[in-house]
Copies of this chain bind each other. A is one copy, B any other.
Amino acid sequence: MKKIINSTEAIVNEMLEGIVKAHPEHIKRVEGFNVLTRVNSPIQGKVALISGGGSGHEPSHAGFVGKGMLDAAVAGEVFTSPTPDQVLEGIKAIGSDKGVLLVIKNYSGDVMNFEMAAEMAEMEGIKVDKVVVNDDVAVENSTYTTGRRGVAGTIFVHKIAGAAAEEGKSLEEVQKIAQKVVDNTRTMGMSLGACTVPAVGKPSFTLGEDEIEMGLGIHGEPGTHREKLSSADELTEYMLGKILEDMSIEKAEEVGVIVNGLGATPLMELYIVNKKLHSLLEEKEIKVNKTLIGNYMTSLEMPGFSISVIKLDEELKRLLNAEADTPALKEI
């Protein structure tokens, strides 16, 4: 295993320290916990958003802490859900008079631990609601999940619900908008190879020289099938097809897209995918309002990518394009 680390035990703590050192204008740490919050938390008069999950998906989620997106991110060990007490500390650190929305990716451990933390927070008098993100169209149920997995589409939830919170909407309203994002977002991913979880020390699976895994999860969970590597255009067409099969988008409707790198895929290749993605959508007379392209929801050093599509109405479009100022996503 070739990694630029000091020890597997120290990874999460040292990473969090490095994040705070890099972005002191955005982020501070809740002392003694693996929780990062906005520097000016708690912000009264605004619904606070918290997300998190296992580490290894950077910049998710700490990179999205800042104005117009998240108020806090909780970091578990690599590919491991954060414990309820860590999530509770996050909720307490950002809990405002308007309440806290939990943005949970649909993994059984995350859902259980975030819900347990929510119950404890409510007992302490903090108003809490939640949304569970399950955008991955590849498979129903998976290694760590009942139902569909939450993957890169989560970024749309952070952005849009974060903007709604910034507008001063109520917890009920922000939750409703977050759920609308989930209902209108779909993602499909693929991988050229595995990543190595540091504590394990070897790749989580192996693929043949010319082989890819289609529909893979962001922890290396199995996808739908393995196949021979085809062209960027063929991959894009297949993956977009799977996404559009699962949602109803009419001509002249507008979408936002994410072409997300899983960690080791050059931006060059993501742009080649993006060219085809746009031309396929143009053929269908679907208008792209916004393209996010880069490493947003990674899987350590996994080579591969995912495509996310969100169907936009006027409200979602306005919020998607609203101002944001976070380390990993700024909207001016």
Count of residues in A whose CB is under 8 Å from the partner chain: 58
The answer for the CA separation of A11 and B231 in the assembled complex, in Å, is: 12
Q: Which residues of A contact B (CB under 8 A)?
A: 2-7, 11, 14-19, 21-23, 55-56, 58-59, 63, 192-193, 209-210, 212, 229, 231-233, 235, 259, 263-275, 278, 288, 291, 293, 295, 298, 300-301, 303, 305, 325, 330, 332
- List the B residue with the shortest CB-CB distance to A264: B264
Pick the contact of A268 from B11, B265, B270, B273 — CB < 8 Å? B11
Pick the contact of A271 from B58, B193, B265, B266 — CB < 8 Å? B58
B192 touches A21 (CB 8 A): no
For this chain, the copies found in one complex come to 2
Pick the contact of A232 from B4, B272, B273, B325 — CB < 8 Å? B4
Looking at chain A's contact residues, the main secondary structure is mixed
- List the B residue with the shortest CB-CB distance to A273: B4
- List the B residue with the shortest CB-CB distance to A235: B4
Q: Which B residues touch A19, using CB under 8 A?
A: 271, 274
The answer for the CA separation of A11 and B269 in the assembled complex, in Å, is: 8
The answer for the CA separation of A301 and B209 in the assembled complex, in Å, is: 17
Known A2-B212, A4-B232, A11-B272; 4 more pairs at CB < 8 Å: A4-B270, A14-B271, A17-B275, A18-B293
Q: Which B residues touch A210, using CB under 8 A?
A: 2
Q: Which B residues touch A55, using CB under 8 A?
A: 268
Closest-CB distance, A111 to chain B (whole angstroms):
24
The answer for the CA separation of A235 and B268 in the assembled complex, in Å, is: 28
